[in-house]
Structure 1
């Protein structure tokens, strides 16, 4: 069976031509999928009965099963989805004053093994297809009746470890005949795969790049993020500088504040020094505790932020979402899998 969410419009056009159909029929079906949220081929009233029957026989419009749904008092909704092969993944819908943002998962599990992260409690089983990422957006939109305006690929997994499928996903949801989510409303987060950042800089698309930094120096980052041993902070900075020069796009540094680990004023000064001269800003993140890791949320968030501002570093503190539910990436899946 052909899984239609896995097709870009260009690929769908090629498929339709291969089965003897006119190219414009692919555009019609693509619009039914994404602009009219059709889940049944019989809804597609402007295509022939013969084509609808052909599609029924050979194609499928996937619908994820919602295994669990947690709703926070702040409006955040965390979903646990079951895939066709029985694997579980998460997605999180967050309410902002600028719209509805969905945090999308790109892999089943994660091999990056960041010391503070619940996602790495379960190692990578496989990459998600572009269609499985699209399906997260469609399933949440169907469940809530809400149009998703922003997408962040920051859920479980390292997006640049699944590069081709993530970029295909981005182009499907960005397409004007699809969901038409603006490129500047799409953010991809990486823990720092510098070779892939270079590749990403050549994509020619105005999506946003976020770097999971979480440390002001190599000593701390080596302890928190094993990827730093492959791409240390100097190498990472050079890669980011090259990306900014090539794309003229501002970069976000994500920085989780861990009590007594990376949250002192000295650390703030080191971070400011590292960022000097880069077109970038810091998104400070209050930590959602994962008992298995032993880290605690920082009590120094405001002082850390004030020190960065004093040193002329643009920064914000991320509004906490889902504090009263399993808010951290991977927590709900890990619980259901018996890891925590």
Structure 2
């Protein structure tokens, strides 16, 4: 199967064209067609020669995704199930926020991190997504918005879908470069958040990268005992090593980190856990933020339940009293398979029944 032209950054496209005896300036023309005019056929690139169009058609496809299911929620959230060229399926979510339209993208087919509460890990990692497959998620959503004719634009990106982004580091970084390109969609780096479960070496590499992209860390527990019981990655990178990487990042970038914390009833949501979390973050108060996340129950992980509103409020109040910046995350798409991985899992079950 031919690669997607979305795989290439603008500089890579320029180099590719020169290697194939084309003029370097053609890259900016093609880029404009792809990301400003957002065509889905090389034939629509009317200021290119027939020879150049034939070269592109012989070498690339544009979008490597096909829509399988689109679910629209009552709150305006839209969830997409896409099929890739090798017939694997991934999920992408459009969320309507007060500050704009945010899209959550997937970076891997399946996940090997082993979080015991998560629907994403129901399928073990099959492969990384290519840069083009990640870019195509944004473009598919933008095409969907374009077709509605309201002039809406994707303004924010969260790299928090299926998979561990830092386990697909190079392709994710190229994706960020393409999204941030001033001659493309030009989504500002500060409007992008990348989430990691805690790959310590990659957190440090990300700190050295110089991007202004926001970083979120899936913490979900204030001590090693609880974190190891729900997140296998803690065996490789326990909290002490993770916090060392966090300190390195904060010192290097002086940028705030968000800690994601899913509230699991009776597991990590008690007052003692809140006090432990406040103690863990006390020397990082000015540059950290805790996002308390109501748990979306996953059928296959029915041993977990969401924390009560009372326990969540008590947890929140303890953190606030200790001077920790925190918020209870607003929920989106609760009526449309909200948890990441649920829609894909449901579709796979349907196909298994058909067979």
TM > 0.5 between the two?
Answer: yes
Displacement after TM superposition at 1:305 (Å): 0.9
Q: Find 1:239's aligned residue among 245, 249, 254.
A: 245
State the match for 1:337 in structure 2: 348
State the match for 1:100 in structure 2: 101
- 1:292 aligns to 2:300 (yes or no): yes
Distance 1:53 1:161 in 2: 36
Point out 4+ residue stretches in structure 1 off by more than 6 angstroms. none
Displacement after TM superposition at 1:63 (Å): 4.9
1:101-140 equivalences in 2 (<5 Å): 101-140=102-141
Distance 1:64 1:192 in 2: 29
- 1:78 aligns to 2:87 (yes or no): no
Q: Find 2:155's aligned residue among 136, 145, 149.
A: 149
- Cα offsets for 1:116-174 (capped at 9, x unmatched): 00001110000000100000000111112231111111000000111111111111111
Kept in 2: contact 1:9–1:30 (CA 8 A): yes
Secondary structure at 1:249 match in 2 = coil
Structure with the higher fraction of residues in helix conformation? 2
| 44-53 vs 33-42, which moves further | 44-53
Distance 2:20 2:71 in 1: 43
- Cα offsets for 1:203-249 (capped at 9, x unmatched): 11100110000001111001010100111111101110110100111
Distance 1:266 1:318 in 2: 21
Kept in 1: contact 2:64–2:84 (CA 8 A): no
1:257-276 equivalences in 2 (<5 Å): 257-276=263-282
Q: Find 1:184's aligned residue among 163, 180, 190.
A: 190
Secondary structure at 1:216 match in 2 = coil
- 1:160 aligns to 2:166 (yes or no): yes
Secondary structure at 1:276 match in 2 = helix
Kept in 2: contact 1:63–1:139 (CA 8 A): no
Unmatched tracts of structure 1, length 5 or more: none
- 1:23 aligns to 2:24 (yes or no): yes
- Cα offsets for 1:187-210 (capped at 9, x unmatched): 110000101101111111100110
TM-score (norm 1): 0.97
Kept in 2: contact 1:9–1:27 (CA 8 A): yes
Kept in 1: contact 2:64–2:132 (CA 8 A): no
TM-score (norm 2): 0.93
Q: Find 1:249's aligned residue among 243, 252, 255.
A: 255
Displacement after TM superposition at 1:111 (Å): 0.3
Number of aligned residue pairs: give it: 340
Displacement after TM superposition at 1:338 (Å): 2.1
Q: RMSD between aligned alpha carbons? A: 1.3
State the match for 1:323 in structure 2: 334
Displacement after TM superposition at 1:45 (Å): 2.4
Secondary structure at 1:60 match in 2 = coil
State the match for 2:149 in structure 1: none
- 1:39 aligns to 2:40 (yes or no): yes
Unmatched tracts of structure 2, length 5 or more: 147-151
